[in-house]
A and B are shown apart, each in its own frame.
Chain A
Amino acid sequence: MLLLAIDTSTSAITVALRGEGVAASATVLDARGHSEHVAPLIERCLASAGRTPAEVTGVVVGNGPGPFTGLRVGIVTGLVFGHARGVPVHGVCSLDALAADAAPLVGRRELLVATDARRKEVYWARYAVETVDASTPERLVTRRLTEPAVDRPADLPDDVRALPTAGRGPVLFPDLFPHAIGVLDVQAATLAALAEERLDGGEDMPVEPLYLRRPDALTTAERGAR
């Protein structure tokens, strides 16, 4: 198995390869240049792992939520790569990857992921960090408790905002998210690890961009009604 993972839902444009004896990743921080960076990052990952595109057996993309233009670049890259190589393409909620990276830092309790949704809003979801079983207390898994949503930070309940918070929400709104965890952007390597777990569990992972907002435009009928 060799998974190619791509996420462009946060400020990190991030690509990873994961398989037996392979763990390569490459990331660029750039909130705008998604369409420039993704393909070169894939080449770099393949080169550093000494693998060819033909050896990739599956693709994973971050479904977001994230700023639309960047988000689409990662998803279309994954979809086309999978189509070209004739391998399946899976989707994972990008917030799940941030939660998974944050879990070891907070231990067994709840946490919040809040990322930059632009327009003074955040994409967010609440998670529970749990142990897999009593015999391995160090093995933590995260479980999403709420559907991903987009809101103004001040509109989140106080007890939710007070949770340890991953993502750039606390960087943008330090007063509203007082408990920051230093996990800012998605890492594709984590996305790949999550996908592998879910594949092993036989989970269905559709590719589905999480826009959470409708396009900004009024139909002629709506304009007339104003």
Chain B
Amino acid sequence: MSADQPLVLGFETSCDETGVGVVRGETLLFDAIASSVDEHARFGGVVPEVASRAHLEAMVPTIERATREAGIRLEDVDAIAVTSGPGLAGALMVGVAAAKSLAVALGKPLYGVNHLASHVAVDIVEHGPLPEPTLAMLVSGGHSSLLLVPDVTHDIRSLGSTIDDAAGEAFDKVARVLGLPFPGGPHIDRVAREGDRVAIDFPRGLTTGRDMERYRFDFSFSGLKTAVSRWVQAKEAAGEPVPVADVAASFQEAVTDVLTRKAILACREHGVQNLQIGGGVAANSRLRAMAQERCDAAGITLRVPRPGLCTDNGAMVAALGAQMVLKGRTPSELDLPADSSMPVTLVQA
């Protein structure tokens, strides 16, 4: 292998995207994704068994597409990386089994890696080497975490996370209340552009008094979701039209206000100059704009990968795998498990 430019294939199947990414060193060659999101839309949410079946069907075609579009041959790959957790157990197992099989068939080293660490590492292929330490905020339908990252390949510390719903979940649930389709994030973002962000003063969970002591860097979105739904019900009960755009914009404002406020505070208190945002909610236009404003005001450098790399994908796993190789980390054992509740502090399985 070329020691400074390892060619790594990354597998991601922790939720509903079958991702196979190809990274050479710190360069993304191709990111192939097959999503089963349309199948889940009929159910109003991700159905684990539907996702797992789709992963099995999509696996080989996605590998084929990744290698073809990247212009590489499988035998030239230096290492294989795979999301070993956290995520949906049955879905993870498809990717883990596929990656292991490839490792055995090709005789290549395998790295089982943490999904959240990969969300952090992916920005390396977008904006270059990760500043150390970085403060990472990961927000999606499955996670809402603030992480202190001294070294993405082996040292990640959790500062806080959601104590109830994930941020993306709140978007899905509020979208349902407003009669918008699943997944809710993009639809709320779109509708909110026509709305007034300060029309309704929705609650900012865990941001005051005792909560700021006990849950300093944690999040709670369940109360916000309930407040939105009560507010809408009250309007309907009064026979008044629901100002969907204003509700969407005000809800979005409350979420992004809490997220960015806590992220900046974490940067300040831990003396970190760099904030990175990842996960599906990082595609939200208001979150990106507010984070930029507040980082500029606080003298913090903000990094957000392009939306396609914020959502789950194989490139992020390949990006972390390449870092593992570059930093000389020992490969994982071939009997590594799929760990649905893998802690974020465990970067490698």
Assess whether A100 is interfacial by the CB under 8 Å rule.
no
Chain B 111-154 near chain A by CB (<8 Å), digits 1 or 0? 00000000000000000000000000000000000000000000
Q: Report whether A220 and B101 are in contact in the complex, using a CB–CB cutoff of 8 Å.
A: no
Assess whether A38 is interfacial by the CB under 8 Å rule.
yes
Q: A216-B49, A218-B43 are in contact. Are A39 and B97 (CB under 8 A)?
A: yes
Q: Report whether A39 and B334 are in contact in the complex, using a CB–CB cutoff of 8 Å.
A: yes
Q: A76-B59, A217-B47 are in contact. Are A39 and B90 (CB under 8 A)?
A: no
Closest to A73 in B: B97
Assess whether B335 is interfacial by the CB under 8 Å rule.
yes
Q: Report whether A215 and B104 are in contact in the complex, using a CB–CB cutoff of 8 Å.
A: no
Residue in A33, A36, A37, A215 whose beta carbon sits within 8 Å of that of B47 in the complex:
A215
Q: Report whether B101 and A84 are in contact in the complex, using a CB–CB cutoff of 8 Å.
A: yes
State A84–B110 Cα separation when bound (angstroms): 15
Q: Report whether A215 and B93 are in contact in the complex, using a CB–CB cutoff of 8 Å.
A: no
Q: What B residues does A209 contact at CB under 8 A?
A: 53, 56
Assess whether A211 is interfacial by the CB under 8 Å rule.
yes
Residue in A39, A52, A219 whose beta carbon sits within 8 Å of that of B103 in the complex:
A39
Assess whether B106 is interfacial by the CB under 8 Å rule.
yes
State A12–B105 Cα separation when bound (angstroms): 22
Q: A84 → chain B, closest Cβ, in Å? A: 4
How large, as a class, is the contact surface on chain B? Answer: 35 or more
Q: Report whether A219 and B101 are in contact in the complex, using a CB–CB cutoff of 8 Å.
A: no
User: Which A62-109 residues have a C-beta within 8 angstroms of B?
Assistant: 68-69, 72-81, 83-85
Assess whether A43 is interfacial by the CB under 8 Å rule.
yes
How large, as a class, is the contact surface on chain A? Answer: 35 or more
Chain A 153-193 near chain B by CB (<8 Å), digits 1 or 0? 00000000000000000000000000000000000000000
Q: Report whether B90 and A80 are in contact in the complex, using a CB–CB cutoff of 8 Å.
A: no
| Number of residue pairs A-B, CB distance < 8 angstroms | 113
Residue in B43, B49, B60, B107 whose beta carbon sits within 8 Å of that of A80 in the complex:
B60
Residue in B50, B89, B92, B104 whose beta carbon sits within 8 Å of that of A53 in the complex:
B104
Q: What A residues does B60 contact at CB under 8 A?
A: 79-80, 83
Residue in A33, A35, A37, A43 whose beta carbon sits within 8 Å of that of B104 in the complex:
A43
Assess whether B337 is interfacial by the CB under 8 Å rule.
yes
Q: Report whether A219 and B42 are in contact in the complex, using a CB–CB cutoff of 8 Å.
A: yes
Q: Report whether B101 and A77 are in contact in the complex, using a CB–CB cutoff of 8 Å.
A: yes
State A216–B92 Cα separation when bound (angstroms): 19
State A84–B47 Cα separation when bound (angstroms): 30
State A38–B103 Cα separation when bound (angstroms): 12
Q: Report whether A36 and B337 are in contact in the complex, using a CB–CB cutoff of 8 Å.
A: yes
Could you tell me the dominant secondary structure of chain A's interface residues? Answer: helix
Assess whether A40 is interfacial by the CB under 8 Å rule.
yes
Chain A 33-53 near chain B by CB (<8 Å), digits 1 or 0? 111111110110000000011
User: Which A197-226 residues have a C-beta within 8 angstroms of B?
Assistant: 209, 211, 215-221, 223
State A38–B96 Cα separation when bound (angstroms): 11
Q: Report whether B44 and A80 are in contact in the complex, using a CB–CB cutoff of 8 Å.
A: no
Q: Report whether B105 and A85 are in contact in the complex, using a CB–CB cutoff of 8 Å.
A: yes
Assess whether B64 is interfacial by the CB under 8 Å rule.
yes
Q: A83-B60, A83-B64, A215-B53 are in contact. Are A73 and B104 (CB under 8 A)?
A: no
Assess whether B338 is interfacial by the CB under 8 Å rule.
yes
Q: Report whether B101 and A39 are in contact in the complex, using a CB–CB cutoff of 8 Å.
A: yes
Q: Report whether B98 and A211 are in contact in the complex, using a CB–CB cutoff of 8 Å.
A: no
State A217–B49 Cα separation when bound (angstroms): 9
User: Which B46-92 residues have a C-beta within 8 angstroms of A?
Assistant: 47, 49-50, 52-53, 55-56, 59-60, 63-64, 74, 89-90, 92
Q: Report whether A42 and B42 are in contact in the complex, using a CB–CB cutoff of 8 Å.
A: no
Q: A53-B107, A76-B101 are in contact. Are A68 and B44 (CB under 8 A)?
A: no
- Residues of A at the B interface (CB closer than 8 Å) are 33-40, 42-43, 52-53, 68-69, 72-81, 83-85, 209, 211, 215-221, 223
Give 13 A-B pairs besides A39-B101, A83-B60, A217-B50 with Cβ atoms closer than 8 angstroms: A35-B337, A35-B338, A36-B337, A39-B97, A53-B105, A75-B56, A76-B97, A80-B102, A83-B63, A84-B102, A84-B105, A211-B53, A218-B43
The 7 A-B pairs at the shortest CB distance, nearest first, are namely A39-B100, A84-B105, A215-B49, A80-B101, A35-B93, A217-B47, A77-B101
